[in-house]
Structure 1
Amino acid sequence: MQKDAEDFVGKYLKELKENNAAVFVGAGLSRAAGYVDWPGLMSPIASDLGLDATKETDLVALAQYHLNTNATNRHQLNQLLIDEFSDLKGPTENHTLLARLPIQTYWTTNYDRLIEAALEAGGRRVDAKYTNEQLAITRRGRDAVIYKMHGDIEHPDKAVLSKDDYERYHSTHAPFVTALLGDLVEKTFLFLGFSFSDPNLDFILSRIRSRFTQHQRQHYCIAKRRSRQSKESKAEFDYALIKQELLLQDLLRFNIKTILVDEFSEIAELLRTIEHRYRRRSVFISGSAADYGSWGQSATGEFMAKLARALIEKDLRITSGFGLGIGEAVVTGAVQQIYSTRQRSIEEQLMLRPFPIGISDPQERDRTFKRYRNELVEQAGIAIFVMGNKNVGGKIVQADGVRAEFELAKAKGLYLIPIGSSGSAASELWNEVTSQIDVFFPRNTRTIRPLLKAIGRPVKDPNDLLEPLLKLIDCLAKE
C-alpha cells in the first residue's frame, strides 16, 4: 500500500474508533450500481435543447435552460428522476462496506436509496433526512443518519436540480446547510464518488475555510487517477492530467487530501482494509464449561479474568455470548480493568449477549441462536476458543455451539485462536488450525506458528499460557 493510502487508513481508523468519522457519497457510487450520472440524466434534456450533455460542464444550467423554455414546468424533469431512479437496484460492494463500518453520519447528493438499502441489509436502523421538517424528528433507536441534501426519489418535485434550486438553497434548505457546516467542523469526512463541482458544497467549504483558516479538520477523498481515454490524443490527456492535479491542489485549501487509485476496484480494497483493521481490534471469546478438567474451576476463572483484563488494557474490545462457566470470569476481568480508568466505558469495550435459553420451540431456538451468533461474530476480527463442553443427561460432551461459532468465524474471515491446552472442543479446533497454519494464517506464519503451538501444550497452570497467547493477539492485531 502506498504511503498516502496507509496514512489515510491509519488516521481514518482513529476517527472511527472515536466516533468522529462521516461519509459523503456522490453520484459515482450510484453509477457503479447501474444508475445514471448527471450527464446521463441530463442527456434527453440537452437533446431537446439542441445540445450535447457530454460536451457541457455546467449540467445544472441544462436543467435551468429546460425550465426557461417550458415556463418553469418541472414535469419532464420529475419524470426523468422517476424513470431513472425508481428501479430498485442493489447496493454495490462499496455501499455494503461503508454500511459495515461503525459510521453514524452519512451525507449524499444522490436521490436513490442505495445507502439506506445497504445499511438496512446489515440490520441497522436508518433515519433518512431529505426535508427540513425531518431534521427536527429523530427516529427511535437509530444507529445511522443519512442526510440527502438534494432530495429523495420519492419526492422528485422537491429535488434540487436547476440553477434556481441551487441559488435558493441557502434559504430553502438553511437547516441542511447548518447541519453540514457543523458536521464538517466536528467530523472527519471521507468523500467517495464525488466530483466537487456541486456549488452548495463549494459554498459551505468556503465558509469553513474563512472561519477556521488555521484550524480546519482533516478530510479525505478517494478518486481514480486520470487515465488516457480511447481516441484521446496525448496533448488532450496531458491537459486532463494538469487539470486534475490543479483540482487536487485546490481541495487542499479546504484540508481535503485526495488518495488517488489506478482502478475503481482499489476503492473497495481500501474500504476492506479499513474494515479488517477496525474489526481486529475486537476479540470474540467463545467457550463453555461444565467440566473444567485438570485446571479446575478456580484456576480457569482466574485465567479468563486475567485474559479479559489484559485485552482491555491493550485497548481491545471484547464480544462474547457469556458462555456457561466462562462468561462470568470474562465479565469480572473486563469490568475491573474498565473501571480502573475513567477514560473507558463498558459500552465501548465490552459487548455481552447471554443466549436466550428459554425458547422452547427447537426450530425457533436454532434460528434465533444462529442470528445471535452471527451478530456477535461479525463485529470482531479475532476469535478465541476455550474449552467447549456441556453436560447432556449427566454426560460431558463437546459443545456444538463452540464448533458453530468457529465455523461462522472462519467463514467471516476472523483470525482463529483455539486454546488447545484447555481441552474439549478447543483442543479439536486447535488440531485443525495447527495442521493448516499456512491456510489460516497465510501472512507472518513463521512468527505465529510457535505461539500457536505454545497454547496447545499441556500445562498445569493456565496462567502459563497468557504470555504466548497475548503475544499472538498482539501479532494479529497489528497485522
Structure 2
Amino acid sequence: MKEMYISEIAKELSEENLALFCGAGFSMSSGFVSWKELMRPIAKEIQLDIEKETDMVAIAQYHVNANASNRHKLNQLLIDEFSKNAKLTENHAIIARFPVQEYWTTNYDKLIETALEKQGRIPDVKSTVEQLAYTKPKRDAVVYKMHGDIGSPDKAVLTKDDYESYHIKYRQFIIALAGSLVSRTFLFIGFSFKDPNLDYILGRIRVAYNSNQRRHFCFIKEINKDDYTDEKEYEYDRIKFELFVSDLGRFNIKAIRITDYSEITKTLKQVESLYKRKTIFISGAASDYGVRKKDDALIFIHNLSKTLVQKGYKIVSGFGLGVGSSVITGALEEIYLNPNQSSNDQLLLRPFPQDVTGSIDKNTLWKKYREDLCLYSGIAIFLFGNKLESGNIINSNGMVTEFEIAFEKGLFLIPIGSTGFIAEEIWNKINSNFDRYAYNTASLVSNFKMLNDKSKSDHEIIEVVMDILKEVINK
C-alpha cells in the first residue's frame, strides 16, 4: 500500500498538482523545540505541570489570562526560539527541489522559504491577510504561513482567543486553503491534525463534496510497543491510534505509516526519484562517430531525442559538442509538430560556459555544473564520448566525470555501447556488475546486452532504450 501511495504522490508531483502542508514536526529536526518544551516555562509560571497537560493552546491562553491579557512573554519566547540559527535539514532541501507551487505551514520559522531560496527559487511568503492581495514578481512558489511569522510575533496565532477568532480575522486564508484542498493533492508532513482551523476546513469540504473529496496523504508514526512499560496503556493508545487513522478516511486522507521519522526522508527521496525518472540527462560528446557516418549518427541522436519527448520524457542537455545540437533539434521538432502532446518544458538546456572568468577555475566550475545537470534528472543516457585534442581523437574525460556524478547521485544509467568510445567503456563497466547498477531483472539485462550490439539498426536501439525506460519507470 505504501509503495502505491508513493507512486501516486510522484504522479501528482509530475503533473504539478501536489501541495505540501508542513506542521511543527517538520521543523523539530532543525533544532527547534516541541510545543510542549516551548510551553514548559509558561506552564511553570502559572503553576501547572506540563507533563500532565496535552492542550498547549490552552496553556498559552491561561498565561495570557493570568497577565491581564498581556502576551509579551509569549511573544518573547517565540522570538528567542524561532530567531536562532536553525539548520536546514535534508527534508527541507528535498521539498524545495519539488516542483510544488504551494507550501502551507503552521510554523513561524523561515526554513521553508530559506530552503527555496537556496535552490534558486523565488518564494512569495504570505503570513498576513494583506499580503494575499499582492504578487511577488517572478515568484515560482507561494508559502502560506497561516499562523503567522516570527517577524511579527504579536500577530502569531497561539492562544485560544487567536484560534476562536481565526475564521473572522483570517477568513481569506481559510478560503484559499479550502480552494487548494479541493483542487490540489496535499501531502501533510509533521502535522498532528489537532489544529481546529484545519479541522474546520476539512469538515466543510467533506460535507460539500461528500464521497467526491480529493485524495490527500499524510505521514503517521505508528505506536511502538517498546515505548511502553504498561501493556494496558499500550493497547489503549494502539486502539486510539487505529481509530484516528480510520477517521482520517472521512476526509479521504490516506496515512503513510512509518515506524521512525527517518522514514520520512527515505520516502521523500523515493518520491523525488520516481518523479525525476521522467527526466533524462543526455550525456555525449563527439568529434568522431566511430562506425557510423556523421549524418547517420546525427539522425540517430535526433530521432532518439524526438522519441523521448514523444513518450512524455523531459530532456536535460549540456549541449555536448557534436551531440547537443541534434538532441535539441529532435526534441524541438516533436514539441513544435505536436504542441498538444508535448510542451516546451520537456527540454532543459544548460550549455557549458566556455570562457570562464572570475576566481573559480574551469574544472571546479564545470564539475559543479555537471552536478546541477544530474540534480534535475533521474536517468542518464550516454552517447559516444570523444573529443579532438591536438589533432588527435581522445576519450572525453568530461563524460567520465558525468558518469561518476550520475552514479553517485543515484541516476539510472543507460550507456548506448554501440556508439563506442566512453559510452562503450561505461557499458563494459555495467556489464561486469549488473546488481551494482540496478540492472536486476532478466529483461533489463537482456535489453542492456542489445545496447552494445553493433548489428542492430538505430531504430532497434531506440526501441530497446524505450523498453528499458518503460521497465525502470514502472518498477
Q: TM-score, length-normalised on structure 2?
A: 0.93
Query: Quick check: 1:224 aligned with 2:221?
Result: yes
Q: Is the 8 A contact 1:335 1:346 kept in 2?
A: no
Whole-angstrom CA distance in 2 between matches of 1:333 and 1:415: 22
Q: Describe how 1:30-429 pairs up with structure 2 within 5 A.
A: 30-228=27-225, 230=227, 232-359=229-356, 363-429=360-426
2:469 maps to which residue?
473
- Give the root-mean-square deviation of aligned CA atoms: 2.2
Matched residue of 1:205: which SS? helix
Shift of 1:18: 1.2
The more displaced of 460-469 and 425-434 is 460-469
Shift of 1:378: 0.9
Q: Is the 8 A contact 1:128 1:145 kept in 2?
A: yes
Q: Deviations over 1:379-413 (max 9, x none)?
A: 11110110122223433222232222112111111
What percentage of aligned pairs have identical amino acids? 47
Matched residue of 1:266: which SS? helix
Shift of 1:365: 4.0
Whole-angstrom CA distance in 1 between matches of 2:357 and 2:35: 55
Q: Deviations over 1:214-269 (max 9, x none)?
A: 32211111101122364542222222122222222222222212222222222222
Matched residue of 1:373: which SS? helix
Q: Is the 8 A contact 2:286 2:321 kept in 1?
A: yes
Whole-angstrom CA distance in 1 between matches of 2:227 and 2:356: 63
Matched residue of 1:212: which SS? helix
Contiguous gaps of at least 5 residues in structure 1: none
Matched residue of 1:214: which SS? helix
Query: Quick check: 1:450 aligned with 2:446?
Result: yes
Whole-angstrom CA distance in 1 between matches of 2:360 and 2:259: 49
Shift of 1:64: 0.9
The more displaced of 187-196 and 146-155 is 146-155
Q: Is the 8 A contact 2:83 2:150 kept in 1?
A: yes
Matched residue of 1:226: which SS? coil
Q: Deviations over 1:331-378 (max 9, x none)?
A: 222223334444334333221222232445694544543333222211
Matched residue of 2:428: which SS? helix
Q: Deviations over 1:297-327 (max 9, x none)?
A: 1111121122122222322211111222212
Whole-angstrom CA distance in 2 between matches of 1:246 and 1:203: 19
Q: Report the CA distance shift for 1:62/1:363 in structure 2 as closer, same or farther (over 3 A).
A: closer
1:466 counterpart letter in structure 2: I
1:20 maps to which residue?
17
Shift of 1:430: 2.1
Matched residue of 1:63: which SS? helix
Matched residue of 2:212: which SS? coil
Shift of 1:57: 2.6
Matched residue of 2:191: which SS? coil
Q: Report the CA distance shift for 1:139/1:345 in structure 2 as closer, same or farther (over 3 A).
A: farther
Q: Report the CA distance shift for 1:235/1:361 in structure 2 as closer, same or farther (over 3 A).
A: closer
Whole-angstrom CA distance in 2 between matches of 1:137 and 1:227: 46
